Amino acid sequence: MSHPRYTEEFKIEAVKQVVERGHRVAEVAERLGVSGHSLYNWIKRYDKPVEQRQEDDDLQAENRRLKAELKRVLEERDILKKATAYFARESD
């Protein structure tokens, strides 16, 4: 079962109901049909200035890129280790 995707505007409006209007998270989550966990995550994200959100997004993208690069480099290293061991045995 796939989870529905909510627009950024929907999420921001949900956060405003909690942060600006003072409604309880559980109440807003139930009314909107989302989990309280999701709403707490949205509050954590969208209760920041736009510039801070953009900076956080950029850092997360850079982190994903670096993790992918690290994975690739580790795989290359492992292949080279195996090749080195293979050719060391062949030269004996």
Count of the separate structural domains present in the chain = 2
Pick from 50, 49, 6: nearest CA to 28? 6
Q: What pLDDT does residue 91 have?
A: 77
Same domain as 70, residue 31: no
- Phi, psi angle pair for 23, to nearest 5°: -75, 155
Is residue 25 within 8 A of residue 40, CB to CB? The reply is: yes
Its domain, for residue 29, covers 1-47
Per-residue pLDDT tens over the stretch 31-53: 999 999 999 999 998 888 889 98
Same domain as 39, residue 55: no
As a dihedral over the C-alpha atoms of residue 47, residue 44, residue 1, residue 5, rounded to 10 degrees, the angle is 20
Same domain as 68, residue 30: no
Same domain as 55, residue 43: no
Report residue 65 as tokens: 């890129």
Same domain as 54, residue 34: no
pLDDT at 1 over 90: no
Same domain as 43, residue 15: yes
Report residue 83 as tokens: 């090749």
pTM > 0.85: yes or no:
no
Where are the strands (E) in 17-90, listed by range?
none
Same domain as 74, residue 34: no
Same domain as 74, residue 89: yes
Report residue 67 as tokens: 């993790």
